[in-house]
Amino acid sequence: MSLNVKDYIRTIVDFPHEGIMFRDVTTLFADARGFRIAIDQLLAPYAGARIDKVVGLEARGFILGGAVAHQLSTGFVPIRKKGKLPGAVISQAYQLEYGEAVVEVHDDALKPGERVLIVDDLLATGGTAAAGISLCERLGAQVVGCAFVIDLPDLGGRKLLEGLGHEVHALTAFEGD
């Protein structure tokens, strides 16, 4: 039997609170074969393209993005929650379901004209990814794609990012949440 990425993802009911179907990628990461499949599929659309840096969104995007950057033989740049990076940073606020969050990147992490691939585990509303795109573009980089393991299409993130003019690549989708 041939397994796909979705087969390695565990669903935890009512986490972090009642009514949420949490898609847990740690089971994917823990399985060598599943992890290899995910990394290979994440980078496949970009093989042969010029990618100067892979940008990973905190926190699971660091795991995926680091592996993708390694396979593409390029550098890796983390986008972190506010207050986690040393040195000079630029910040971008974005809306959460209840409130606001801020992500940051070092102000010298990307150079004007660099072509970047944004990587994360999950695309839900798209707020974090849109904030990451904004940070990259403010530094003069060109976002050539956004790659995710999971898309939750009912939450509108893909539509948001595509509406901003960005290509979205997701390995699997879970409807309804």
* Bridge partners (DSSP) listed for residue 142: 115
Answer whether residue 162 is part of any domain.
yes
Answer whether residue 41 is part of any domain.
no
The model's pTM is: 0.96
Answer whether residue 66 is part of any domain.
yes
Tell whether omega for the bond before 78 is within 30 degrees of 0, i.e. cis.
no
Confidence of residue 12 (pLDDT cuts 50, 70, 90): very high
Answer whether residue 109 is part of any domain.
yes
Residue-number span of the structural domain to which 142 is assigned: 46-173
Answer whether residue 6 is part of any domain.
no
- The CATH number of the domain where 72 resides is what? 3.40.50.2020
Confidence of residue 177 (pLDDT cuts 50, 70, 90): low
3-class secondary-structure state, position 52: coil
Q: Is 36 considered catalytic here?
A: no
Question: How many domains, in total, are found in the chain?
Answer: 1
Catalytic annotation, pick one of 10, 18, 58, 60? 60
Whether 31 shows a pLDDT value over 80: the answer reads: yes
Catalytic annotation, pick one of 18, 97, 100, 175? 97
